[in-house]
Structure 1
């Protein structure tokens, strides 16, 4: 495999890839890698050079938005299966289908958490979804391209997209209205501290979002799914890694990433598409919703922190 982008996120992929059965890291494309690289692995200044030199079966793209989608499409055109880190782009129109996009999958590894295979294979009738995120992220995290929404910063792009994308995947249909409030309290560049949103579908179903990065307590991330038959399901974990299972026995993120790589390679070999894989075209709808939230939200600045 070839890794494109050896920064903070690329390092996480390297850790998972090192223990993946049958996977060999054959190259890294990054003009200035910050991650610790496996000894002896060649480093290339560009993904174009690396694709020609390595001819990889699998490419993991972990670069910032703006280059990620271009790199992923170049890799797919070269014949590789591709895992692309979210959000890939902030422009939903950039996801208009192109040739070879079928070989690109978005890296939502928490969607491989326990119980989600069955949920995604046979989606139940969902009437409401509730996304709750409460974590602590400070100024040091929001640097470079993470500073602004336009370059893929913000709570929804960076923190809550895993659960929001999963909720919208289980609830197809046209988005009718978005009612949102975005609160800025700590001066984290243009990044907000708290987003609340009510997203209504044309048939009356709703998605509610309460996502904050100024939480002083234990981090939590929960997606509550309310079914038409009255059942209530909870997808839980620091980043949903417990799925519908027990928090105490949740798989590690490295384990979930390895499942994701194996599923992408299986799909590339014609052995079927795993229900937990997130195809690139499906990313357009979450990005359209995120765009509407930030575009239409009521913005609050300078208030005292609300940490309830």
Structure 2
């Protein structure tokens, strides 16, 4: 039986908790959050801080689901105990925070959609991907932008919080630093510092390209997909509400609960000395996506429409 500590029991943490408590071979031995959300089962030990929890609870796996900034510190504190750690993206908004430290090899970022069907083969042998088109369209209304999500300084923008799964997948398959970025960041609803729409064309070393079209005010059915372009002309489409169909059929897509269980299983296997699964995303690998995102935002044209806030 593997012992699991959850740090952060808000919206995302409760999703992890619901899967963890229904997973065979796993025992949740504590929840650390000063104000846990409704839905924490009775009888679980509760702690007001992760530091208090880490001194009392011995865990094989620690899942960190707190806001950025806090998440990175908590994840590294957890890794220092010898536990394997899963931390929610983006963990931090500052790439420089990811200078390697002892223990970082035990920390993995929670990109469970990267376990979608067929992505293990793409990631194990990426070949020559020369371009990618990342698309995201969801609806996030006023109630979503509350607390830490209201400020870019603590939450990050659409690329940090929404499109990061697809953008990071593309960057895992396409090497090279940023040579240029042409981007527009559009604000028109005024819900928060974070924007409604990002359009970006990123040129990487060697002329490889990544385009991004990501919006959070979309009125239709949500989707988050990536089209990969190979140097032999092939185009491979990774599909789903959040990539979960992978390269397979939408009807055969695993649930997000199944993807999370696969993530937990592979992190625990890596911690036990087994080869790291190609779909796992090490903390150290997060630095490059954050550098690309920072470059896009720094060089973007910011457009603030005259529409009424809250429309």
Q: Does residue 174 of structure 1 match 2:177?
A: yes
Q: Does 1:23 align with 2:26?
A: yes
Identify the match of residue 292 of structure 1 among 285, 290, 295.
295
Maintained 8 Å contact 2:175/2:205: no
Aligned to 1:133: 136
Mapped partners of 1:19, 1:126: distance in 2: 38
* Residue 273 of structure 2 corresponds to residue 273 of structure 1: no
**Cα displacement (A) at 1:304:** 6.4
Structure 2 counterpart of 1:2: 5
Per the alignment, residue 184 of structure 1 pairs with 187
From 62, 65, 71, the equivalent of 1:62 is 65
User: Contact 1:51 / 1:75 at 8 angstroms: preserved in 2?
Assistant: yes
CA distance in 1, matches of 2:55, 2:205: 47
Give yes or no for the alignment of 1:233 onto 2:244.
Answer: no
Give the whole-Å Cα distance in 2 for the aligned partners of 1:229 and 1:81: 40
Aligned match of 2:164: 161
- Once residues 63 and 299 of structure 2 are traced to their aligned partners in structure 1, the CA distance between those partners, rounded to angstroms, is 34
Moved more, 40-49 or 264-273: 40-49
Give 2:149's aligned residue: 146
Aligned to 2:212: 209
Alignment equivalent of 1:253, drawn from 256, 260, 266: 256
Match of 2:82 among 79, 82, 85: 79
Match of 1:42 among 38, 41, 45: 45
SS of match in other structure, 1:24 = strand
Asked whether the 8 Å contact 1:72–1:84 carries over to 2, the reply is yes
Gaps of 5+ in 2: none
3-state DSSP class of the match of 2:195? Answer: coil
Determine the structure 1 residue equivalent to 2:226.
Answer: 223
Q: What is the alpha-carbon distance in structure 2 between the residues aligned to residue 263 and residue 238 of structure 1?
A: 23
Farther-moved stretch of structure 1 (293-302 vs 57-66): 293-302
Deviation at 1:173, TM superposition (A): 1.1
Unaligned runs of 5+ in 1: none
- How many positions carry a matched residue from both structures? 305
Q: Does the aligned pair in 2 maintain the 1:85–1:106 contact within 8 Å? A: yes
More deviation in 284-293 or 149-158? 149-158
TM-score by length of 1: 0.97
Aligned pair partner of 2:305 in 290, 302, 305: 302
Distance 2:307 2:248 in 1: 37
Please, what TM-score do these two structures have when normalized by structure 2? 0.96
The answer to whether the 8 Å contact 1:130/1:208 transfers is yes
* C-alpha deviation, 1:253, in angstroms: 0.6
Contact 1:142 1:153 in 2 (8 A): no
Contact 2:239 / 2:245 at 8 angstroms: preserved in 1? yes
Distance 2:59 2:10 in 1: 20
Aligned CA-pair RMSD: 1.2
Q: CA deviation at 1:303?
A: 5.4
